[in-house]
Structure 1
Amino acid sequence: MYLLNRICILAFVTLLCSTAIAQEKKKITLEDVFKSNTFSAKSVYGINWMNDGQFYSSLNRSAGAPSVVKINVATGKQEEVLIDGQKIGINFSSYTFNAEESKALIVSDIERIYRRSSKGINHVVDLKTSEKQLIADGEKIMYATLSPDNDKVAYVKDNNLFVVELASNSITQITKDGKWNEIINGAADWVYEEEFSMSKAFDWSPDGKKIAFIRFDETDVPEFNMQTWGELYPKDYKFKYPKAGEKNAEVSIHVYDLDSKKTITVDTGTEKDIYLPRIYWTANSNTLAFLRMNRLQNQLDLFYANTETGKSDLILQEKSETYVDLDYNDNLFFLKDNKGFIRTSEQDGYKHIYQHDNSGKMIRQITSGNWEVTNLVGVDEKGKKIYFISTEASPLERNLYVINMDGKGKKLLTPAKGTHSVNMSKDFKYFIGYHSDANTPSKVTLHQVSGKEMQILEDNQELKDNLTNIAMSKKEFFTFETVDGSSLNAYMIKPVDFDESNKYPVLMYVYGGPGSQNVTNSWGGARDFWHHHLAAEGYIVVCVDNRGTGARGRDFKHSTYANLGKIEVEDQIAGAKHLGTLPFVDKGRIGIWGWSYGGYMSSLALMIGNDVFKSAIAVAPVTTWRYYDTIYTERYLQTPQLNAAGYDDNSPITHVNKLKGNLLLIHGTGDDNVHFQNAVDLVDALVKADKQFDSFYYPNRNHGISGGNTSWHLYNMMTEFIKDKL
């Protein structure tokens, strides 16, 4: 009896001590996350490997004015300052070297346009003398690019393509038909930029004597109109936005010869309702490769084009009953001396590496297994090795591997658990690694290609030290089975003072779109720390990657084809029901929130899962896929003309009568991506159904709803809604 009492007393004292320690630590506040950026991780930016593999350059912003410094790999020390922003009097944001590394192109006064497009003032700087040359008379231009032969710069201005000779500063206008909302030369239209992850649409030939470019004729594409507010009379901003089932821009490929000053048109076939999402120069300046996809994106063709005649030949074709994945990491590498190419494909059910000869015939499948290659880092032709990032260790992780080109000798180079990305040197002797896990901020290190660490470039020790004084729970990963028996990956953040005998409310966070992934063993950003703030306030935060998300093979990802929203929402509801069975969860207080596709999911889940979810926040949601763009929507749903039910059956607008819980709808009126029209039509349907809800709009804010005080205001409002409604 005495021993039992002593054990009870010790246990009680231990509990008191742990509670006291938790109380001594500081809770994460909204001010920490959105005002003071207390938890922002540092990194190493603007790293470029130099021709001599013993050096790399880095953009340094720590000294006030930006500078580009040259670092010795062996010593880790700075050898010299290549570009001194203070000395040349330019506050530049980015830089690129010419092939000889004698000059650099720097960009300043950058003005963002859409997600990936921008324009700015460009200078060419002589690295020896620091003399600078202003390009295009100081006008803001787009995608300025030095030629491989070092003496020219190509750029886009006012929808036309130009070249400037650096020696004479003379400008040649290659195209003259460019016109706003009609013709674009050398730059992508809105939908290609957003959905094919491209903005620049031209490229120099290897010898610097030709420029290949894509021309977009968007004359007949329907025009979208957004009003911008802030003046006595609101202004109209009109741009071409092809919604599902509507007309796309007509695209064509052209090659300009700088010597003859003639432009040829590449033969891309007789069908005009196509996509031309990529152009690539092969190692031969007379051969241009390009990709062509049909409107439904279930056929991908690789062509070689003769740049003297424009004649093209089909090299490779891939078809699918759903859609063919266009690799946005551009995992297509052309071997020297016309020895073929290396590419990735999902054709065996998982994304893997394949080698083809120059005629397109497959030589071998280099990697295989129930895991995916996510990035083809580099192909060392001399050493006959391929470096790649994959999910072999876990769908939640990313690691660097090397494999021989014959498919043998695969080796793991980054064994630490978590998420790795790398920047490999041109001679394949070194790489700079970026590594984090769910509970450890990013560490940037220099490695020999064997994986051996040589130097720490950034370890975020200051942030790690700060975190020791913060009351913060670790992310816990778990799995559960959904309605069809599939195992789903998820994570949970518990309150710091978690007590399993208590009942906690739960907020689920969702994105859930095709190929996406939120449940990863990696360090998060401000949104993650907002979740940690909520956990400090007594909420459990959970995220579930439903069927249709990425890193788990083609069948898992394509399972939502032609019926977006249906099984994804089933999985989120199943996740909530699973949580409701846990002894420490209050199943009557489960909420869900998401942004963009996640806003679509959260609003639909609240309606269909009205017996499971109490509240939802939908930020910038798609409310009907009829309002979204052609490329993304038709890839997963076909066109509205072919699959009307796929568009309407799982639209939140269709299910407004089922709303029982608390809905907060948020949108920016200047959202060029998911238009404010989505929110307006959902509001109209809710009013007609006599449903009460909360809504808020942010004037002129785009899809990211940010800038100035906006993020603070947004997350403060969402926090109060959660506290009030959950």
Structure 2
Amino acid sequence: MKVKKHAPRLAGALVMGALSATVAAQGRTLTDQDYAKAERYVGYNAAPLVDHAVQSVTWLDDGHFWYRDHDASGDHYLRYDVATGKATPAFDHASLAAALAKVLGKPVTASKLGIASFSVGDDGRLDLNLKGKHYLCDAKGGACTAGKDDNAEGVGHEPGVLSPDKRSEAFVRDWNLWVRDVATGKEAQLTLDGVENYGYATDNAGWKHSNHAILVWSPDSKQIATFQQDQRKTGDMVIVGTNVGHPKVETWKYPLAGDKDVTMIERVIVDVAGHKVLRLKMAPDQHRSTLCDDVSCGRDGGWDDVQWAPDASSLAFVSSSRDHKQAWFRVADVHSGEVRTVFDESVPTYYESGNGKVNWQYLPESHEVVWFSERNNWGNLYLYDLDSGKLKHAITTGEGNVTEVLKLDAKTRTLWFRGVGREQGVNPYYQQFYKVSLDGGAPTLLAPEPADHTISLSPDGRLFADAWSTPTTPSVTVLRSADDGHVVGSIAKADISRLLATGWKAPEPFTVKGRDGKTDLYGLMFKPTNFDPSKKYPVIDYIYPGPQTGSVGSRSFSAARVDHQALAELGFIVVAIDGMGTPWRSKAFHDAYYGNIGDNTLPDQVAGLKELGKRYPWIDMDRVGVWGHSGGGNATATAMFRHADLFKVGIAESGNHDNRNYEDDWAEKWQGLEVTDKDGKSNYDDQANQNHAAGLKGHLLLAHGTMDDNVPPYETLLVVDALIKANKDFDLLLIPNAHHGYASASNYMMRKRWDYFVRNLAGDTPPKEYTMKPPKD
């Protein structure tokens, strides 16, 4: 269900099933040229044709930031001076390319440096990140030396969490917490009693298991808040590789929904200089987050629900119940370990603290807490008294959601946040930017264009870079004042001339009514560039049912969304609809199928498709297909089994088909805790796709990576077993050694997806074994 990037070895692909049973093609015979035309609109070909699309910037200090610009001549790394409003090269690209070529031992093109990020050290040298490998280079590009390798494994290569003063980094080794001096490399062990499956700061949520350290440094770099994670009673997950000889076996702790014993955390504070561990005086906590599920799920990879006081005198954190229905705001005394519960919130379904980041804020100096709640059906901010735990007043009110609190100035009592749905007549998914007083009052809209805004605040919060766009209009990036939003300077304006020259057309936004016949649902439609309204086109529904995100994805401009336009080019109408049960709208909208994951937004997909079919005579409602990955794979199988009269062809990739075989914290948040009756029936029975496999009527292709450590491959095999027992024809593609993302096999999977719909939904014949041609690095 969760998106996770891997680069696994690929041993090949195994295709099983009943391809011979497909419908005899009655239509066109497509050629390599037809597929090549479609491939023009795959992301790796379309995205490079967008010039000057600067989506975000990286601030170097209060007055300077850098960003990557791109045009037909290649990539340009620029440094912007806010005082002058001018951008200049961040370094000499040619000299740097030559210096990198020497240390890499191969040619480097100045216009294709491939720098993921860079920073400037105290010595003036550039620390360049190229695919996780760091190179320290003279600012003028004179010479480079190899630095640390983020991809390296083993002792001495553990990824560290840098302290605020940048002098130390903490890391995990042998189940214990260590610290390393950045300048000298000297290491010291901070904890001594960590043992296997009962270690400090360990990053293991089941679906996620890495060697990163989960902790929060105190502002003065003297203490570390972390936990000892107890997985000694947690059940194991086992997956087996494919190779010649004895197979590689991976085993790790993976708690499942319904397990009696799941992973727990024991909160501690570590005195770095004294090597002392203070265990907080409270019972073990669930490894849960108010943002999503695991304790660490935010974009920065840190510990989401923990904040230090500015003077490091106390520590605030939020605990969540196993079912996510209750959250407790707590404060710990960092000297005694005493813990005080200030207040708590209980909800009938699940509590969340925002969309995109945890939004609560700890303000000990004014004895206050900013708290996020959806108690009025919308995500708003509330101010609490830290001493009494009583509500003082609402900071924001009314319809629309606060999605991300980006900055809080305690002195001026001003808070800046991204929000959606707060402006009448504006698409409710467009992120806009506001400031508001902690003392209440109407928020000030700082990014007013009716578009999706990506915000990059300066360190001092005085300015922000604002990149705004829509699915149909490319980005404009400007520098604005955080006080009133006025434009201070221009950064970039995207140019899609080269993209348009290929015949590319933007997707068409649309709205349809949901299952209730009243609620507006928003979607995007992709047509062939040679669309002919006098023809009838089969329609393909791309689905991701949530509940943590939807089918459409970002509302910012994108040259390619998955392979929707490419697939449309082969003779289809492709649609994506955000159904009820997905986020960003009201709490009631998001709660639509709580406790009933088998819903998968499909009543809304069906209603929306039927409305589009009535609205547009060129949509052939007798030829409807569906596909999705992960949660979308689950929903696709559900569609084919339980709505078989509508959906004729489906491709279910890596689906979590029975959430009793998936990670506990995700499933128990959305389906609830498992309850089994005396007769053995469970509230999880209905959501299990294998229990509905006998309903299959059309063509179904199941796909899964055999080393998927997010959604284990056994999820798909449960469905395979049920289909065999039901004597159903289906197709199966297993990708040996691939994880949740198919890595080097992803283009093969894309081609198989095209072939399957072309053959079985359009009734055409695909070219034999077309080879995708992504550009080489």
TM-score by structure 1 length? Answer: 0.84
Say whether residues 1:577 and 2:610 are aligned partners: yes
Matches within 5 A, 1:368-447: 368-391=397-420, 392-393=422-423, 394-447=427-480
d(CA) in 2 for partners of 1:206 and 1:567?
Answer: 43
Deviates more, 1:352-361 or 1:274-283: 274-283
Q: Which residue in the other structure is 1:476 paired with?
A: 509
Look up the SS of the partner of 1:724 in the other structure: helix
Deviates more, 1:294-303 or 1:525-534: 525-534
Q: Which residue in the other structure is 1:361 paired with?
A: 390
Q: Which residue in the other structure is 2:172 paired with?
A: 156
1:358 is matched by which residue type in structure 2?
L
230, 250, 264: which one pairs with 1:250?
Answer: 264
Shift of 1:134: 7.0
Say whether residues 1:517 and 2:525 are aligned partners: no
Shift of 1:601: 0.9
Shift of 1:292: 1.0
Deviations 1:586-605 (A, max 9, x none): 11101111111111111111
Q: Which residue in the other structure is 1:260 paired with?
A: 274
Cα distance, 1:96–1:242 mapped onto 2, change above 3 Å: farther
The number of residues matched between the two structures is 684
Whether the 8 Å contact between 2:135 and 2:144 is mirrored in structure 1 is no
Cα distance, 1:285–1:711 mapped onto 2, change above 3 Å: same
Deviates more, 1:554-563 or 1:319-328: 319-328
Q: Which residue in the other structure is 1:6 paired with?
A: none
CA RMSD in angstroms comes to: 3.8
Shift of 1:110: 6.5
Q: Which residue in the other structure is 2:63 paired with?
A: 54
Shift of 1:68: 9.3
Q: Which residue in the other structure is 1:16 paired with?
A: none
Q: Which residue in the other structure is 1:77 paired with?
A: 87
Say whether residues 1:234 and 2:247 are aligned partners: yes
Q: Which residue in the other structure is 2:26 paired with?
A: none
Cα distance, 1:49–1:273 mapped onto 2, change above 3 Å: closer
1:585 is matched by which residue type in structure 2?
I
Look up the SS of the partner of 1:29 in the other structure: helix
Deviates more, 1:366-375 or 1:628-637: 366-375
348, 352, 375: which one pairs with 2:380?
Answer: 352
Whether the 8 Å contact between 1:371 and 1:553 is mirrored in structure 2 is yes
Whether the 8 Å contact between 2:158 and 2:212 is mirrored in structure 1 is no
Whether the 8 Å contact between 1:577 and 1:612 is mirrored in structure 2 is no
Whether the 8 Å contact between 1:375 and 1:390 is mirrored in structure 2 is yes
Look up the SS of the partner of 1:283 in the other structure: coil
1:691 is matched by which residue type in structure 2?
K
Cα distance, 1:252–1:133 mapped onto 2, change above 3 Å: farther
Q: Which residue in the other structure is 1:641 paired with?
A: 675
Whether the 8 Å contact between 2:224 and 2:269 is mirrored in structure 1 is yes
Whether the 8 Å contact between 2:76 and 2:89 is mirrored in structure 1 is no
Shift of 1:690: 0.6
Shift of 1:30: 4.1
d(CA) in 1 for partners of 2:92 and 2:371?
Answer: 36
d(CA) in 2 for partners of 1:326 and 1:650?
Answer: 27
Cα distance, 1:318–1:75 mapped onto 2, change above 3 Å: same
d(CA) in 2 for partners of 1:653 and 1:520?
Answer: 28
Say whether residues 1:676 and 2:713 are aligned partners: yes
Cα distance, 1:244–1:152 mapped onto 2, change above 3 Å: same
719, 723, 726: which one pairs with 2:758?
Answer: 723
Deviates more, 1:658-667 or 1:539-548: 539-548
Whether the 8 Å contact between 2:469 and 2:557 is mirrored in structure 1 is no
Q: Which residue in the other structure is 1:657 paired with?
A: 694
Whether the 8 Å contact between 1:92 and 1:108 is mirrored in structure 2 is yes
Look up the SS of the partner of 1:267 in the other structure: coil
Deviates more, 1:403-412 or 1:332-341: 332-341
Shift of 1:345: 1.8
Shift of 1:248: 1.7
Cα distance, 1:59–1:314 mapped onto 2, change above 3 Å: farther
d(CA) in 2 for partners of 1:144 and 1:357?
Answer: 36
d(CA) in 2 for partners of 1:723 and 1:351?
Answer: 43
Matches within 5 A, 1:284-323: 284-323=311-350
Highest RCO, 1 vs 2 (Cα 8 Å, sep ≥ 6): 2
496, 502, 513: which one pairs with 2:535?
Answer: 502
Whether the 8 Å contact between 2:395 and 2:440 is mirrored in structure 1 is yes
The gaps in structure 1 that reach 5 residues or longer are 1-25, 112-119
Shift of 1:253: 1.3
Cα distance, 1:168–1:125 mapped onto 2, change above 3 Å: farther
Whether the 8 Å contact between 2:78 and 2:89 is mirrored in structure 1 is no
Whether the 8 Å contact between 1:188 and 1:201 is mirrored in structure 2 is yes
d(CA) in 2 for partners of 1:85 and 1:183?
Answer: 46
More helix by percentage: 1
Shift of 1:148: 3.0
Shift of 1:537: 2.7
Cα distance, 1:122–1:188 mapped onto 2, change above 3 Å: farther
Matches within 5 A, 1:465-614: 465-472=498-505, 474-483=507-516, 485-519=518-552, 522-523=555-556, 528=561, 530-566=563-599, 568-582=601-615, 583-614=617-648
Deviations 1:358-397 (A, max 9, x none): 2233222111222111111212334432221111233221
Shift of 1:607: 1.4
2:65 is matched by which residue type in structure 1?
Y
Shift of 1:524: 6.0
Shift of 1:613: 1.2
Deviates more, 1:444-453 or 1:365-374: 444-453
Look up the SS of the partner of 2:684 in the other structure: helix
TM-score by structure 2 length? Answer: 0.79
Q: Which residue in the other structure is 1:23 paired with?
A: none
1:308 is matched by which residue type in structure 2?
H
Whether the 8 Å contact between 2:170 and 2:213 is mirrored in structure 1 is no
Say whether residues 1:184 and 2:199 are aligned partners: yes
2:47 is matched by which residue type in structure 1?
F
599, 608, 619: which one pairs with 2:653?
Answer: 619
Whether the 8 Å contact between 1:142 and 1:156 is mirrored in structure 2 is yes
d(CA) in 2 for partners of 1:335 and 1:694?
Answer: 57
Deviations 1:148-195 (A, max 9, x none): 344323233344322123565432111244455x1332232134858x
d(CA) in 1 for partners of 2:360 and 2:604?
Answer: 35
Shift of 1:126: 12
d(CA) in 1 for partners of 2:244 and 2:466?
Answer: 48
d(CA) in 2 for partners of 1:239 and 1:273?
Answer: 19
Look up the SS of the partner of 1:528 in the other structure: coil
Shift of 1:666: 1.1
Whether the 8 Å contact between 1:49 and 1:426 is mirrored in structure 2 is yes
Whether the 8 Å contact between 1:59 and 1:69 is mirrored in structure 2 is no
Shift of 1:85: 9.3
Shift of 1:519: 3.6
1:38 is matched by which residue type in structure 2?
A
2:365 is matched by which residue type in structure 1?
D
Cα distance, 1:130–1:706 mapped onto 2, change above 3 Å: closer
Shift of 1:641: 3.4
d(CA) in 2 for partners of 1:652 and 1:31?
Answer: 33
Percent identity (aligned): 26
d(CA) in 2 for partners of 1:307 and 1:571?
Answer: 50
